[in-house]
Every structure is written in C-alpha cells, then in structure tokens.
C-alpha cells in the first residue's frame, strides 16, 4: 500500500506570447494540518514550458528541508508530467541529450529539468495530470496566480516607460 501524500503540490505556468512575459503559480496543500500556501513569480521573456517547470521547482523548493516528504504533484502540463514519468530517466542516462549519439541535440530546458530532477530525488513523488481550464479549483487558482504575475509585469513595464 502506498502512503497517502503529506503534501499536494498543484502547479501551472502561463505565457503571453511564446516566448513572451510569463508567470507561474504553485499551491501547496497539507491535508493533515489543512494549511495552504501559494507561491508565484514570473519572467519578462520566457516560454510557457519554462514557467510550467519553474512552478514545480519553486513548489518543491518551498518545502521544509530535512524531511523526505511524500508529495503528489498535480499539473495540467503534459510536458511536466510526461517528462517526470516517461522521459527523464532516459535523459539522465543519455547525459541530458535526446539521443545516444554525441552530436544528439540537448534536451530543451535542460537547466530546469536538471534542477527539477534533483529536487524530486529528495522526496517520495507521485504525479497526476489534470486538464487545464476545466474547473479544477486548485489548477484554476494556479492559473490565476500565473496570469496575475504577467499582468503585474506589464503594469510595471508600462509605469517604467511612463517615467
């Protein structure tokens, strides 16, 4: 029997243009304590996939160190979920390349994938893909956090131009 997760980590990334200004959101729920923590951030020039990865990274980074948490990661990004459940072990074995030959192309976003891989090794992880924009409350909240980051970035850029 698999132990129940101690933490549910919900994540989402968004981008206005791809590339363009991007935001990410993460929501952590601790079922035992009923506590909820939200995180968000962004980057002025990025891609949607980088924001999806960053949301998962920052969510895991926010967990108190020194404990091997049981974490259930929920994302609407097939890129993140399939990457973690299907592709990553092959990438590691091929030194973060997409093929076995020396001249094989590197994995896209390898810097973030390496960080995410290292973080997942510290926890007992399970994964779940949910459909985005289908009324899943935590996914919708993460999307709201991510898009608010983009809006805030645009406001700051507009204010800076006005000065």
Residues acting as catalytic residues: 12-13, 52, 76, 133, 143
Residues 6+ apart with CB under 8 A from 38: 25, 26, 27, 28, 141, 145
Q: What CA–CA distance (Å, rounded) separates 99 from 110? A: 14
Q: How many CA atoms lie within 13 A of 29 on its CB side?
A: 15
State residue 153 phi and psi, 5-degree precision: -60, -40
Specify the residue for token string 């609407």.
Answer: 76
Query: Both tokens of residue 99?
Result: 């093929």
Q: What CA–CA distance (Å, rounded) separates 16 from 18? A: 6
Q: Which of 73, 154, 148 is nearest to 117 (CA)?
A: 73
Q: Answer for the pair 98, 107: CB distance below 8 angstroms, yes or no.
A: yes
């Amino acid at each position: 029997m698999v132990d129940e997760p101690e933490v549910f980590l919900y994540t989402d990334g968004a981008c206005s243009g791809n590339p363009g200004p991007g935001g990410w959101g993460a929501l952590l729920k601790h079922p035992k304590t009923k506590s909820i923590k939200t995180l968000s951030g962004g980057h002025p020039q990025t891609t949607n996939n980088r924001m999806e990865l960053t949301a998962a990274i920052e969510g895991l980074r926010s967990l108190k160190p020194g404990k091997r948490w049981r974490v259930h990661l929920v994302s609407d990004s097939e890129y993140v979920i399939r990457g973690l459940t299907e592709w990553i072990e092959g990438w590691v074995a091929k030194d973060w390349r997409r093929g076995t030959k020396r001249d094989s192309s590197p994995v896209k976003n390898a810097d973030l994938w390496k960080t995410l891989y290292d973080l997942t090794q510290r926890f007992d992880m399970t994964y779940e893909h949910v459909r985005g924009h289908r009324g899943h409350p935590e996914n919708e909240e993460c999307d709201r956090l991510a898009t608010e980051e983009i809006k805030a970035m645009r406001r700051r850029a507009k204010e800076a131009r006005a000065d």
